[in-house]
């Protein structure tokens, strides 16, 4: 309620300033009394001032559009815009009054000095706003990076927990073998070894061999995210396939954004695969001459919504107001990475859902080793 009232007051003040400016120019200075022309000038003047201030405002923020949305709300940005309009129109209004009523050179010089101070205050206010916006975005970026490091630490903890589980299972297997040997029950020992131990060993060998391919990823946070998601998928009894044949040292995207995008895509893949009778996830990273290609494919059900629906805010097969992952990925890529492209394909016959993220190499914008 208070915000709406303040917004209305700012609009009213701007209109009063514009009306007085129009009257001074047309009636007092030019001695022209034509209401129709005066009204046209009034609204044209308001439009020009609003356009110039809005352009100045947007030039400093359009490159950081997405981050700015998290720092200042739309209402706050509108207040800043109309506040600047009030200052500019107020300065023009006072200048016209002083110059109209000035009777000597001394008064004109004094007013010119005051006008210069006023202009300096306006520019200082704009600089202060820009500086505050920059600092707030740096703070937000730091908080996001800390959050990403926490996720990376959590992913390492998941891998460590998996190693503890393996150690526990290995101890149990040795204890079982010891029991058969002490009882000299060699027939059961042979059956247990071939039926249980070999099966477990082969399965463990396969998953370890696949996870070992993540060693080609030389970007530590990305490797942590991939390891965590693949271990999670394996724990959910999802068949995991990994194909990374060459080392990946750098990608033309910030570590934070890359891990965020890949994390969202893998989370969606795991969630969709779990809804199928034979859940499967395939991960491929292919460095080529001028780009890096990330491929994430998962099994999906027959009732897959249209692709355009998946990228709508709020859409989710799990309920309302939950579908924010893919729209955020699309917005992040569109706003910050014109050299990146996300392609989505659905194969209804094979019942697979595939996301291909292509990131072209760009100088000075790479996620480097570590």
Domain contains 325: yes
SS3 at position 278: coil
Domain boundary among 144, 159, 193: 144
Residues 208 and 122 in one domain: no
In whole angstroms, how far apart are CA 136 and each of 127, 132, 133, 333, 335? Answer: 14, 6, 5, 22, 19
Domain contains 175: no
Number of domains in the chain: 2
Domain contains 54: yes
Domain contains 162: no
**Phi, psi for 349 (deg, rounded to 5):** -75, -45
Residues 221 and 281 in one domain: yes
Q: Sign of dihedral through CA atoms 245, 250, 253, 258?
A: positive
Residues 231 and 316 in one domain: yes
Residues 344 and 195 in one domain: yes
* pLDDT value for 48: 63
Residues 249 and 304 in one domain: yes
Domain contains 367: no
pLDDT tens across the length of the chain (370 residues) = 444 555 455 555 555 555 555 555 555 555 555 555 555 555 565 566 556 655 655 554 444 444 444 445 555 665 666 666 666 666 666 666 665 665 666 666 766 676 677 667 767 776 777 787 778 777 877 776 677 667 666 666 766 676 677 677 777 777 878 887 888 777 887 787 777 777 666 665 556 667 778 888 998 888 888 888 888 888 788 988 999 989 998 899 988 889 889 989 999 999 999 999 999 999 999 988 889 999 999 999 877 777 767 766 555 555 444 444 788 888 889 888 999 999 989 888 888 999 999 999 886 555 554 4
Domain contains 166: no
Domain boundary among 90, 121, 144: 144
Residues 257 and 135 in one domain: no
CATH code of the domain in which 300 resides: 3.30.565.10
Distance of CA 219 to the CA centre of its chain: 19
Residues 137 and 190 in one domain: no
Residues 130 and 230 in one domain: no
Residues 98 and 210 in one domain: no
Domain contains 280: yes
Domain boundary among 127, 144, 161: 144
* pLDDT value for 209: 63
Domain contains 150: no
Is 213 in contact with 242 (CB distance < 8 Å)? yes
Full residue range of the structural domain in which residue 278 is found: 185-360
Q: Smallest Cα–Cα separation from 285: which of 230, 208, 337, 346? A: 230
Residues 221 and 277 in one domain: yes
Residues 340 and 192 in one domain: yes
Report the DSSP beta bridge partners of residue 280.
239
Residues 137 and 200 in one domain: no
Q: Containing H/E element for 194?
A: none
């Amino acid at each position: 309620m208070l915000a709406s009232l303040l917004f209305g007051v700012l609009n009213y003040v701007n209109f009063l300033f514009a009306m007085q400016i129009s009257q001074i120019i047309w009636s007092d200075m030019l001695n022209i009394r034509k209401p129709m022309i005066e009204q046209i000038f009034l609204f044209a003047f308001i439009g020009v001032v609003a356009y110039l201030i809005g352009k100045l405002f947007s030039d400093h923020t359009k490159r950081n559009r997405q981050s700015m949305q998290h720092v200042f709300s739309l209402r706050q940005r509108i207040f800043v815009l109309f506040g600047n309009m009030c200052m500019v129109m107020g300065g023009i209004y006072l200048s016209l009054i002083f110059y109209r009523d000035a009777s000597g050179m001394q008064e004109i010089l004094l007013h010119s000095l005051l006008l210069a101070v006023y202009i300096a205050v306006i520019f200082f206010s704009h600089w202060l706003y820009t500086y505050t916006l920059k600092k707030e975005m740096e703070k937000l970026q730091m908080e996001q990076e800390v959050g990403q490091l926490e996720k990376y630490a959590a992913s390492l903890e998941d891998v460590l927990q998996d190693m503890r589980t393996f150690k526990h299972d290995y101890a149990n297997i040795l204890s079982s073998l010891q029991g058969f040997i002490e009882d000299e029950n060699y027939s059961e020992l042979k059956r247990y070894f071939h039926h249980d131990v070999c099966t477990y060993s082969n399965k463990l060998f396969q998953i370890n061999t696949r996870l070992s391919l993540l060693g080609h990823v030389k970007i530590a946070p990305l490797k942590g995210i991939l390891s965590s998601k693949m271990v999670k998928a394996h724990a959910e009894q999802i068949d995991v396939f990994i194909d990374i044949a060459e080392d990946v040292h750098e990608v033309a995207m910030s570590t934070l954004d890359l891990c965020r995008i890949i994390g969202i895509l893998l989370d969606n893949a795991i969630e969709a695969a779990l809804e199928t009778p034979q859940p499967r996830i395939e991960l491929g990273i292919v460095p080529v001459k001028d780009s890096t290609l990330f491929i994430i494919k998962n099994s999906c059900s027959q009732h897959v919504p249209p692709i355009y629906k998946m990228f709508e805010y709020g859409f989710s097969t799990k309920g309302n107001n939950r579908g924010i992952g893919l729209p955020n990925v699309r917005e992040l890529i569109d706003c910050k990475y014109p050299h990146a492209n996300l392609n989505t394909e659905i194969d209804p016959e094979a019942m697979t859902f595939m996301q291909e993220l292509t990131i072209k190499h760009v100088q000075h914008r790479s996620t480097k080793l570590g």
